[in-house]
Amino acid sequence: MIASLINGEERDDLSILDRGLQFGDGLFETIAIVGGEPALWQRHMERLQEGCRQLAFEPPDPGLLLKEATRLIGRRQSAILKILVTRGASERGYRVPEDTRPTRILELFEWEGPEEDAGGIDLRLCRQRLGQQPGYAGLKHLNRLEQVLARSEFDQGEGLMLDTEGCLVAGTASNLFLLIQGRLHTPIIDRCGVAGVVRALVLDVAREMRQPVTVRRILPDELEQAEGVFVTSSLLGIVAASSIEGVRKQVQVSHHPVLEAAAGRLFRA
């Protein structure tokens, strides 16, 4: 970590009474800094605000966050900015005291910038499943044990996760698109998983181009049938799978106009 701010102060330690630690009672965003600017800032802020609304605590002012982010980024061109917002500190117990005030944490990390697509990414299926939590599916909250355990199953590439009913949901740190008979499909994020900002960008670009993505339940068998498979994330951007469970895939991002157009709009503020 290069630098950090907690509620605007240059600090890197937090009260052990913070509910982020006690219960994972908070949210986070991982933001690519490209050309000195936070990419997809507006989308990150919208998800963060929506998350606070759903968890029922006061969202931080996006203007204040941008001011603090700018201060932290300084003159750096490429970096990763991680923002955590928690419900704040309280004594032990799940109950939220009335005087609880949210904590905002900004962390800046070294980064080389987005990787050039070096022939795609190898994907595999993880054994660790995603529990269904329709109450707050889609949020990037701090309860991430499932992802930690799934990520420990492999070294390189990305692991795909199924929900407890066996439907494909997402990668451990990415969303998923399948190209089937020339059309894009992506798993619906209504029971578990994170609704990624790059996923949202692809959905919007697809609508604009009148080639809407089909958002639905997808079974793992469909990975094999798909001509191409793609993962998306704030840091990866949009990357084609070069293989799935060892079976090669060939279709590149440039193959589909929606993905190509979305990729072109990715690393801008």
For the window 177-196, what string marks contact with its own copies as x by the rule CB under 8 A? Answer: ---------------x----
Three-class SS state of 41? helix
> How many angstroms separate the Cα of 1 from the Cα of each of 4, 12, 108, 239?
8, 9, 6, 26
**Does residue 76 interact with its own copies by CB under 8 A?**
no
> CA 123, CA 170: separation in Å to the nearest integer?
11
Nearer to its own copies, 94 or 181 (CB): 94
Min dist. Cβ of residue 169 to its own copies (A): 12
Min dist. Cβ of residue 247 to its own copies (A): 24
**Does residue 100 interact with its own copies by CB under 8 A?**
no
- Among 76, 124, 129, 255, contact with its own copies (rule: CB under 8 A): 129
**Does residue 93 interact with its own copies by CB under 8 A?**
yes
Q: Show Cβ contacts of residue 105 under 8 Å, excluding neighbours closer than 6 positions.
A: 4, 5, 6, 14, 20, 83, 84, 85, 86
**Does residue 84 interact with its own copies by CB under 8 A?**
yes
Rg over CA atoms, the chain: 19
> How many angstroms separate the Cα of 66 from the Cα of each of 20, 73, 107, 137?
22, 10, 13, 26
Q: Site residues (CB under 8 A) for its own copies?
A: 1, 4, 6, 12-25, 28, 30, 55-56, 80, 82, 84, 86-87, 91-96, 105, 107, 109, 128-129, 131-136, 141-152, 164, 172-173, 192
